[in-house]
Structure 1
Amino acid sequence: MKYPALVPGTLLRRYKRFLADVRLIDGREVVAHCPNTGSMRAVNVPGCRVWLTPSDDPARKLAWTWELIELPQPDGRMALASVHTGRANRIVEEALRDDRIPTLAGYAALKREAKVTYEGGRKAARLDFRLDDPQKGSAYVEVKQVTLKEVDGHGYFPDAVSERGKKHLDALVALAAQGHRAVLLFCVAHEGIGDVAPADHLDPAYGAALRQAATRGVEVVAHGCGFERQGELPTVIRLGEPLPVSLTRQLDVTLGID
């Protein structure tokens, strides 16, 4: 996915879930839309450099959107992380259409926002993608963006209690029972994260549901994201190589987390 022209600034604060105050490099302070409804644990770090997309659409209430943040790593590097959760589906869709995810390659058709019913039609959910092929059958894919890097250096999902995420797992389990491929794909949009585990320390119910789903036919996979830059300016984000998923690792709560 190619970014529009990004503008750098310094994060001052995020508030009311959807708002962020940012100081641009010319000294102006602007209010940016924060397209992330989660807790943004570990990526809401005032003082860090952020990247915004501008808009000249007069119908918009806010002219800026917060896209990325740069976070210091233990080795002294700065890692980019995408805070725009709406980008994850586009990143994965591009990779699916280009057959760049080997385990999901070769399907003839792709549909976004696939509505499914289960438990005899009593429950319904909307999953991110349905892939169809005359020979392969159908594969349902739900995408979750991962940006939570905890103090132990590992990646975790979710960053807060996620009833919606658990509902998606229930739907995937039901589809697997019907004989379809059911895939949960973690899109790891943080350069400093090298693996993913369920965040039992934040949402133990989700962790339990994820482990159960994996035993009932749901494929749980993760892919990193790679960024291209022109100098310091991020220009492109793409889905990258597979990353390990551990369903047994748990954060050591004695390490000083909140």
Structure 2
Amino acid sequence: MIIQGKKVEAVFEKRLNRFVAMVNLEGKSIKAHVPNSGRLAELLNPGAMIVLRETENPLRKFRYDIIMAYKDNILVSVDSILPNKLITEVLKNNKNDPKEVIIGKNDKKIRAMFEYDFVRPEVKYKNSRFDIGLGMKNEMGEKDGIKYYLEVKGVTLVEKNIARFPDAPTERGTKHILELVEAKREGFGAGIFFVVQRQDAEAFSPNDAMDPAFGKALRQAAKAGVDIFAYRCVVEPDKIELQKPVEIRM
């Protein structure tokens, strides 16, 4: 997926709150938007090299977004919106041209998702919303409702080559998993896709030390038949691509 916009490298100084940080750009300290509510403690440290994207919206409060950070010479995407866009694009593109399937060649569950007729973002399920809904068309060619619910989570934390999620307690994330379990029990397809936004992970595991409730819910989902995927990415200043699946360790 192409990452639009003009990019420039800068030096991270300090985080003022969840969404605002001070950075040094060409010798000048300025405020920048942090598009991620996670802690990012291992990435956004004083002196860390980062990548900024300049916004084209003149109404934005801050001119720059922090979209990437360097960690041990590895470029890590920290934009929490990108994983959702990436998976949506992959599902749509592979549906439009099956010859261009870039993931799931050896994964029947992923290949099955390409068989749905349409991809819809931000779909409602009871009193909540999931990131992506997949559905089929009826005999008249009309969209016939959502049949598969998919939640997407971006992962930035890697410890000893193991990607871990979350990097901060997430009641909302746990709630989503339990709702996927409910959807599965009602006969819908359900899955959660962990997008590791860096290329140095060999495995994925829930971060029980940070949020044991999330790990417990994820294991419950796996036992209930919810599909769980984890793929690492190749990250460059101008693009991010799914590279390969990583081992899931529960």
TM-score in terms of structure 1 length: 0.84
Q: Sequence identity, in percent?
A: 34
Does the Cα contact within 8 Å between 2:132 and 2:150 map onto a contact in 1? yes
Structure 1 residues without counterparts, runs of 5 or longer: 73-77, 118-123, 229-233, 248-258
- Structure 1 outlier segments of 4+, above 4 Å: none
1:106 aligned onto 2:107 = no
Aligned to 1:30: 30
Look up the SS of the partner of 1:187 in the other structure: strand
Q: Deviations over 1:18-44 (max 9, x none)?
A: 1111112x2122210011111223222
Q: Deviations over 1:121-166 (max 9, x none)?
A: xxx211000011259x72111000001112x331111111110011
For 2:76 and 2:235, locate their aligned partners in 1 and report how far apart those are by CA, in whole Å. 10
Over aligned residues, Cα RMSD in angstroms? 1.7
Alignment counterpart, residue 245 of structure 2, candidates 223, 242, 253:
242
What code does the residue aligned with 2:8 have? V
Aligned to 1:224: 232
Aligned to 1:168: 176
Alignment counterpart, residue 84 of structure 2, candidates 63, 66, 89:
89
Does the Cα contact within 8 Å between 2:161 and 2:203 map onto a contact in 1? no
Q: How far apart are 1:239 and its partner, in Å?
A: 2.2
State the aligned residue count.
229
Aligned to 2:58: 58
Look up the SS of the partner of 2:238 in the other structure: strand
Does the Cα contact within 8 Å between 1:127 and 1:168 map onto a contact in 2? yes
Aligned to 1:255: none
Cα separation, partners in 2 of 1:196 and 1:63, compared to 1, 3 Å: same
- 1:172-187 aligned at under 5 Å gives the runs 172-187=180-195
Q: Deviations over 1:78-114 (max 9, x none)?
A: 1111111011111111111122443122221011101
Q: How far apart are 1:57 and its partner, in Å?
A: 2.9
Aligned to 2:97: none
Structure 2 residues without counterparts, runs of 5 or longer: 95-100, 105-109, 139-145
Aligned to 1:250: none
Aligned to 1:189: 197
Q: How far apart are 1:217 and its partner, in Å?
A: 1.3
Aligned to 1:68: 68
Q: Deviations over 1:225-248 (max 9, x none)?
A: 1134xxxxx21112222221111x
Does the Cα contact within 8 Å between 1:8 and 1:52 map onto a contact in 2? yes
For 2:49 and 2:68, locate their aligned partners in 1 and report how far apart those are by CA, in whole Å. 9
Does the Cα contact within 8 Å between 2:77 and 2:235 map onto a contact in 1? no
Q: Deviations over 1:43-83 (max 9, x none)?
A: 222212100011253311111111000101xxxxx111111
